[in-house]
Chain A
Amino acid sequence: MDIIALTALLAASIAAGTAILFAAAGELLTERSGILNLGVEGMMLVGAVLGFIVTVNTGNHWLGVIGALVGGGIMAALHAVVTISLRANQVVSGLALTIFGTGLSGFLGKNYEGAPMLYQFKDLNIPVLQDIPVLGPIFFQHDIMVFLAMILAAGMWYVLYRTSWGITIRSVGENPQAADAAGINVARVRYFCTISGGMLAGLGGAYISLVYAPTWQQNMTAGRGWIAVALVIFALWNPTRAILGAYLFGGVEALTFRLQTMGIHISSFFLVMFPYIVTILVLVLVTIRRRQDAGAPEALGLSYDREER
């Protein structure tokens, strides 16, 4: 493989990883507040179909993006009501929303099946930086959404670890009793993080239907929502590691295509498995070298009831 092909592969990795990065960043925020959202896949699909429908009908892809944010946000709001206010099991609610989102998106998109997306995001080639050899084409010749995802994940790291909002969010995920006793409104923080997380999942879905594979097809996210959930664990709940992880998984996806066209005979099933195998390996390593302060938020998946005795 020559340098040009490699550059193209790496650039494709970033494009392929962007949808995962949006969804993973959203899930990371949600989980940091202690809520496990397994409905990411469903929320991505609803975001993808709404983004597509709104864009086709209005001719404005930014309105499509807003549609996707609203769709993902509404789905996540359902999850929030069920798990935060009604304190139902988070796993059950999340799985139900994935199944629901899969069906709903198929239903809404029935008349758009296979239609092409005509309104495209243009590549936003960053002046000067794009001319750096090798690095320029890899990092700086993408559409605006790719940059948005990077900035978002980096910004999320700053907010979580360098601001008092971050301390608030993390404390709610680690120990809601302590946060409550310190005067923090636990439910409000969890609602905020869950709904924002769902909106980002919707955005990730829209990136697929509007930019990455500009069309609508039923089930077109093809498990990326699940990769996003796994990626949060892979990243040990740290947004900067999530960026690397998203592009790594994006790279695996891009590689799958290239290898097939290059006629290298590795079963495509194996390559599709690869991200999950990596996730399992990372989980094993994480469990072996467990450090007190680098792991899952302690209260992840647990509902909080102030008067529980």
Chain B
Amino acid sequence: MLKRIPAIEMSGISKRFPGVSANDNINFKVYPGEIHALLGENGAGKSTLMSILAGLYRPDSGKIKIKGEAVKLRSPGNALEAGIGMIYQHFRLVSNFTIAENIILGTKNKKIGINKEQIESDIRSFSSSFGMEINPADKIYQLSLGEQQRVEILKMLYRGCEILIMDEPTTVLTPGEVKELFKILRTMAEQGKGVVLITHKLDEVMEIADYVTVLRSGKVVGDGQISELDKQSLTRMMVGRDIVHSQAEGKKQIGELILAVDNLNVKGVRGNRAVSNLSFNLYKGEILAIAGVAGNGQKELIEAIAGLREIESGSIEYEGEEIQHYNVKARAVLGIRTVPEDRIGMGLVPNISIMDNSILRSYLQDEFKKGFLLDYPKIKEYARQIISDYNIVCSDIHHPVNYLSGGNLQKLLLGREIDGNPRVLAAAYPVRGLDVAASEDVYNLFFHEREKGTAILLILEDLEDVFRIADRVAVMYQGSIKKILEVENTSIDEIGSIMLGAEVMGEQYAEV
């Protein structure tokens, strides 16, 4: 039998960033027709390794071979010529351009002028040959994230890529879209293309991949055929230990009504109606999760509750008092605390110190004041307290917060809000981008708060988390809450179909 030649062979790859070794002597191979999962926690070095392959980063040492021949990839242009295309987590699309313009961007063109109609009809027929229906004249900003991802895939196919690398492709997709994507990837693999899937989601690996390579702290800690591995052993490789999922069992004491949102209408950034006729009740001592495809008004809802976004009509009642006209500070004083989606932009001030960030909400309180000056010794003590209470790893409280990792940022932010003794705690995507261990820490904070009787509203993206964490789940679609369900009485498939606008209960997706 002939020995198969790998489409890609990376050997001895090392790459250091200031202070971290992102890749340490990594060997990695992909064969044609293979779906290869690159599994690891955040910061394990997956994206760095693939960015080297895509010509974005240059390795400090190591060799890359394509179809057995050594190559030097100095730029993404080189990599594309070599047939390697990478789709980043943040899509590399020009949002003011049409689909067609994005697809032909950077391709060599002999003619000076371009014939729009010709190109658009070419692209239309090209995309339908892969079973993707698009309108090439649409602008990127008009598309949903799932559609944008399809444009990225088409762009790579159009340029004749033999290896497609996708960085966390399912994060922005609905369960239905994920199935669509996997179908496309299967088709590509059948045509002999190699697919690399960067992910930290084990279930996806088990479902779609043929082969897996596991990275931890910049090193390869294991690899093998999926058929010969199970979730348990992969987790152990990925995390280095077994993860025990914590769950506060059985003692759910849902208390009395604390927050009632009634017929809320809120406008989005672009003047569209982001939240429309939305109503729900939140009770003391419960975790209510909001599930929905990103961009269905979740962000605007949280901002409206926080007081950051003006509402058009409707009411928000807190303990029987209408608070929709109160400003952010007044609501915070009442006990409504929110943790925004954008930690470093809205939650914390990136360039000021951990210490100063820890008192952003409370610096006006008497305990931190000394006349009209701030009482720094006391603030220092307070910041140290927060750091030890919430298990934040940092070298110095005087360092700017943007030196902290995502998990530590979130713990600082949550710690600060929880320390203000909230009665309603709302958080948007609290574990986005966090690894398994940090997510556990964050969820434990919420469990602890629930025990204290705080009402918790969480916007979550991972439906499995919803089932593990929440008591009730509200499904949001096009700005309103379609249905509120007890998590015991529903299923991922049911929620998934409501997220996509299905009115009928129990409608399910056919397994691919």
Binding site for B on A (CB under 8 A): 158, 162-165, 167-168, 170-171, 174-175, 177-185, 292-293, 298, 306-307, 309
Contacts of A298 in B (CB 8 A): 95-96
A163 contacts B97, CB within 8 Å? no
Q: Chain B nearest CB: distance from A191 CB in Å?
A: 15
A164 contacts B104, CB within 8 Å? yes
A-B CB proximity, top 6 nearest = A182-B106, A183-B77, A181-B92, A178-B92, A164-B109, A183-B106
Cβ of B299 within 8 Å of any chain A Cβ, yes or no, is: no
Contact of A180 among B75, B96, B107 (CB under 8 A): B75
Known: A164-B107, A182-B106. 13 other contacts (CB 8 A): A162-B113, A162-B114, A163-B112, A164-B114, A167-B97, A171-B94, A171-B101, A178-B92, A178-B94, A179-B106, A181-B54, A182-B76, A183-B77
Name the residue in A163, A174, A178, A184 with the highest tally of chain B Cβ atoms < 10 Å from its Cβ. Answer: A178
Name the residue in B77, B92, B109 with the highest tally of chain A Cβ atoms < 10 Å from its Cβ. Answer: B92
Q: Chain A nearest CB: distance from B138 CB in Å?
A: 12
Q: Chain B nearest CB: distance from A162 CB in Å?
A: 6
Cβ of B105 within 8 Å of any chain A Cβ, yes or no, is: yes
A178 contacts B102, CB within 8 Å? yes
Find the A residue at minimum CB distance from B81: A183
Contacts of A177 in B (CB 8 A): 90, 92
Rounded to whole angstroms, the CA-CA distance of A307 and B18 in the bound complex is 12
Interface residues of B in 91-147 (CB under 8 A from A): 91-97, 101-102, 104-107, 109, 112-114, 139, 141
Given contacts A178-B94, A293-B139, contact A167 B105 (CB under 8 A): yes
Rounded to whole angstroms, the CA-CA distance of A292 and B138 in the bound complex is 13
Rounded to whole angstroms, the CA-CA distance of A179 and B102 in the bound complex is 9
Contact of A168 among B75, B81, B102, B106 (CB under 8 A): B106
Given contacts A164-B109, A306-B56, contact A184 B93 (CB under 8 A): no
Contacts of A307 in B (CB 8 A): 56-57
Binding site for A on B (CB under 8 A): 17, 54, 56-57, 75-78, 80-81, 86, 88, 90-97, 101-102, 104-107, 109, 112-114, 139, 141, 155
Rounded to whole angstroms, the CA-CA distance of A293 and B141 in the bound complex is 10
B139 contacts A182, CB within 8 Å? no
Given contacts A163-B113, A185-B75, A309-B17, contact A174 B104 (CB under 8 A): no
Q: Chain A nearest CB: distance from B132 CB in Å?
A: 19
A174 contacts B97, CB within 8 Å? yes
A185 contacts B77, CB within 8 Å? yes
Could you jot down 23 A-B contacts, CB within 8 Å?
A162-B113, A162-B114, A164-B109, A164-B114, A167-B101, A167-B105, A171-B94, A171-B97, A171-B101, A174-B96, A177-B90, A178-B93, A178-B94, A180-B75, A181-B92, A182-B105, A183-B80, A184-B106, A185-B75, A185-B77, A292-B95, A292-B139, A309-B17
Rounded to whole angstroms, the CA-CA distance of A287 and B8 in the bound complex is 49
Contacts of B57 in A (CB 8 A): 306-307
Q: Chain B nearest CB: distance from A307 CB in Å?
A: 6
Given contacts A179-B106, A182-B80, A293-B96, contact A163 B114 (CB under 8 A): yes
Contacts of B80 in A (CB 8 A): 182-183
Rounded to whole angstroms, the CA-CA distance of A183 and B92 in the bound complex is 11
